[in-house]
Amino acid sequence: MPLHALLYRRTSEPQTIEVDFDGMIYPVLLRRHRQARRYTLRIQAATREVILTMPPRGTLREARSFAQKHGGWIAARLGRLPEPVPFAHDIVVPVRGVPHRIAHRHGARGTVWTEIDDNGERLLCVAGHAPHIDRRIADFLRREARRDLEAASLRYARALGLTVRRVTVRDQSSRWGSCSTTGMLSFSWRLILAPSQVLDYLAAHEVAHLVEMNHSARFWRVVHRICPHHESAKAWLDAHGADLHRYGLPDGGETR
């Protein structure tokens, strides 16, 4: 364990406290940060977690008091978040921005596939037992996301004369994509839920970081050169991106 972590470690300190507001109990995760100067609260929209950051010398008593004082803020912020949407029979989810209704085909062979019914509605069909629907749909969407993101990333890399070493997809809650100096790209699988031009833009964005590892004017010129529609795609993501996190069950898994 790093020295700085040992310095600020509290072996007997709980990781979670509870806030009681208006008859409801809200769990709050505690996080110490060596550069924090005050207590702060934030809501992780993807997981609906309430996180309280504490300064190095902060006390548990002060943390409890601070969290309880802001119980109304916690309740209001959580109340404004969209309700989670599980992958279950008859639920409508977007795939590449197009609504698909999940259809459980218990006796069918196979795993997950798409169909169009007699009324023209797009279906996302899943075989097997009901308890496995969420996982099977999530695995299918991860595979589709990786396929689309890998194809788009390689296409943009060729346009710039670059090489992508590997593309992975995860359930990232804080960013849609990342790029390493060694040519490894990582994306959120939830981009497969967005319109295709949004996924396409994110692939161009991360590939452009292989040229400029920053967000300077030169970086955005590279993005614009290979992906002229980037402004509309970015605007869609800014407006609707948070909504993509409500589908399915959060998972830290990775697909390569």
Helix (H, G, I), strand (E, B) or coil at 184: strand
Same domain, 157 and 244: yes
166 vs 9, 87, 154, 181, 183, CA distance in Å?
36, 29, 10, 12, 7
Residue 110 resides in a domain: no
Residue 112 resides in a domain: no
For residues 242 and 252, which has the higher predicted lDDT (pLDDT)?
Answer: 242
Residue 199 resides in a domain: yes
Same domain, 139 and 250: yes
Nearest CA to 45 out of 253, 240, 254, 255 is that of: 240
How does pLDDT run across 125-153, given as a tens digit for each residue? 999 999 999 999 999 999 999 999 999 99
Evaluate if residue 253 carries a pLDDT over 70. no
Residue 193 resides in a domain: yes
| Structural contact between residues 136 and 128, judged by C-beta atoms closer than 8 angstroms | yes
Number of domains in the chain: 2
Evaluate if residue 256 carries a pLDDT over 60. no
Mean pLDDT is lowest, of 26-30, 197-201, 227-231, 241-245, for 241-245
The mean predicted confidence, pLDDT, of the chain is 90
What pLDDT sits at residue 181? 87
Residue range of the domain that includes 139: 134-255
The CATH number of the domain where 243 resides is what? 3.30.2010.10
Same domain, 142 and 233: yes
Evaluate if residue 10 carries a pLDDT over 60. no
Residue 170 resides in a domain: yes
Evaluate if residue 95 carries a pLDDT over 60. yes
What pLDDT sits at residue 110? 86
Which of 51, 80, 109 lies at the terminal end of a domain, its last residue? 80
Same domain, 68 and 150: no
pTM: 0.76
Can you state the angle between helices 60-69 and 71-80, rounded to 10 degrees?
A: 60
